[in-house]
A = this chain, B = another copy of it.
Amino acid sequence: MTTVASFSVEYIQYLSPNGTLTGETIPPIAKDFETIKSLYKTMVMTRVFDAKAISLQRTGKLGTYASSLGHEAVHVGIGSAMKYEDVFAPAYREYGVQFIRGVKMSEVLLYWGGDERGSNFSGPPHDFAWCVPIATQNTHAAGAALSFKLRKQPRCTVSVIGDGGSSKGDFLEAINAASAFKLPMVFVIINNGWAISVPREKQSSGETLAQKGIAGGLPSLQVDGNDLLAVHHEVKKALERARNGEGATVIEAITYRLGDHTTADDASRYRPDEEVENAKRFEPVLRLRQYLMDNNQWSVQQENKLMEDCAIKVEAAVKEYQSASKLPVSDMFDYMFAELPHDLQEQRAFALALEEENS
């Protein structure tokens, strides 16, 4: 009996829940307060936006919406580690990443407002759109990464996946592809404890979800997903590895879904209130603010000002969303193909005539 391979999964946290630095090493970002402040602002903005989106849904002004409450550090951490020319492959709630990359709040609203134009967003044109079929974005990311490798471009992809999604074959096959082709990419498993009503423990009895990367021999680690510094630093390191041709990394970021799965869900049916209350003690925004304040980088006045700012910007985004032009019926035909086939031309004409008749 000989040992032919050994692996381990490390857990990384730099900022403790009460806002103090932990651990032996301190990553560069921990002392770059300008950057932290700017990222903190994005985190807060994301949260204000989120609350607004939920209230729009509640008042019938938005469709089903997937909240990002509690995920701000992992999302903003990823976004801030990436370069513009990299490609991001989201699932459906990673607005924090996308805001940093230039997607507008009004575009997020458009999407959840039932309007495809939301996915023709202002972020990098090469970024993927929201991806509802779970885990399918991971192989898109692998394909994009392969294109960079083939074209010898110094670019990477980052794709995310939930704890639930980490069970689906597509994610596992993407890890395998990253391993086989040594692709420049980073997988972030956003483990928020729940896949709708199914708790993390029911997805797998493995000690970690990160270890799914071991299947392909990829470096695999856990980070505190409520610790912006840890997410930012580890994703950045992984991107550097990838850009240097050293292949992919799997990062499990442990966070918590503080809200319902979506506005169509009622988590109280399956999740004890105490669990949520407890999780709030570890949430990402508070701890980062504490860190800034403890280092005299942030004040109550600044916080108040920020909240005002956010409210104004979110209001403006809502206005923009609500003033979007009406979608013409032709829209459902006009992007089907570069050139509309004969059959569809007829169906289009029929639909337009019908519209005419009915108006």
Q: Could you list which residues of chain A lie within 8 angstroms of chain B, going by C-beta atoms?
A: 1-12, 23-25, 167-170, 172-173, 176, 179-180, 182, 202-208, 211-212, 214-217, 222, 247
Cβ-neighbour of A24 out of B1, B214, B216 (below 8 A): B1
Q: Could you list some 24 contacts between A and B, CB below 8 A?
A: A1-B10, A1-B11, A1-B12, A2-B10, A3-B9, A3-B10, A4-B208, A4-B222, A5-B207, A6-B7, A6-B8, A7-B211, A7-B214, A169-B169, A169-B172, A172-B172, A176-B204, A179-B205, A180-B204, A204-B216, A204-B217, A206-B215, A212-B215, A214-B214
| Additional A-B contact list (13), CB under 8 Å, known A5-B207, A167-B176 | A1-B12, A1-B23, A1-B24, A2-B11, A5-B208, A168-B169, A169-B170, A169-B172, A176-B203, A179-B204, A179-B206, A205-B217, A206-B217
What chain B residues lie within 8 Å of A207 (beta carbons)?
Answer: 4-5, 217
Q: How many copies are assembled?
A: 2
**Complex Cα spacing A203 to B7, Å:** 20
What chain B residues lie within 8 Å of A4 (beta carbons)?
Answer: 9-11, 207-208, 222
Min C-beta distance of A2 to chain B, whole Å: 5
Cβ-neighbour of A172 out of B12, B211, B215 (below 8 A): B215
Can you name the residue of chain B whose Cβ is closest to the Cβ of A24?
A: B1
What chain B residues lie within 8 Å of A1 (beta carbons)?
Answer: 10-12, 23-25
Cβ-neighbour of A173 out of B7, B23, B168 (below 8 A): B168
Min C-beta distance of A180 to chain B, whole Å: 5
What chain B residues lie within 8 Å of A170 (beta carbons)?
Answer: 169
Can you name the residue of chain B whose Cβ is closest to the Cβ of A212?
A: B215
Can you name the residue of chain B whose Cβ is closest to the Cβ of A203?
A: B180
**Complex Cα spacing A1 to B222, Å:** 10
What chain B residues lie within 8 Å of A10 (beta carbons)?
Answer: 1-4
What chain B residues lie within 8 Å of A206 (beta carbons)?
Answer: 5, 179, 214-217
B8 touches A5 (CB 8 A): yes
Cβ-neighbour of A205 out of B24, B172, B202, B216 (below 8 A): B216
Can you name the residue of chain B whose Cβ is closest to the Cβ of A169?
A: B169
What chain B residues lie within 8 Å of A172 (beta carbons)?
Answer: 169, 172-173, 176, 215
Min C-beta distance of A165 to chain B, whole Å: 12
Task: Given the known inter-chain contacts A205-B182, A215-B212, please indicate yes or no for A3 contacting B12, CB distance below 8 A.
Answer: no
What chain B residues lie within 8 Å of A179 (beta carbons)?
Answer: 204-206
Min C-beta distance of A184 to chain B, whole Å: 14
**Complex Cα spacing A25 to B170, Å:** 41
Can you name the residue of chain B whose Cβ is closest to the Cβ of A135?
A: B169
What chain B residues lie within 8 Å of A222 (beta carbons)?
Answer: 4
Cβ-neighbour of A180 out of B9, B25, B205 (below 8 A): B205
What chain B residues lie within 8 Å of A215 (beta carbons)?
Answer: 172, 204, 206, 211-212, 214-215
Can you name the residue of chain B whose Cβ is closest to the Cβ of A10?
A: B1
Min C-beta distance of A81 to chain B, whole Å: 18
Can you name the residue of chain B whose Cβ is closest to the Cβ of A12?
A: B1
Min C-beta distance of A6 to chain B, whole Å: 4
What chain B residues lie within 8 Å of A25 (beta carbons)?
Answer: 1
A211 touches B203 (CB 8 A): no
Can you name the residue of chain B whose Cβ is closest to the Cβ of A3?
A: B8
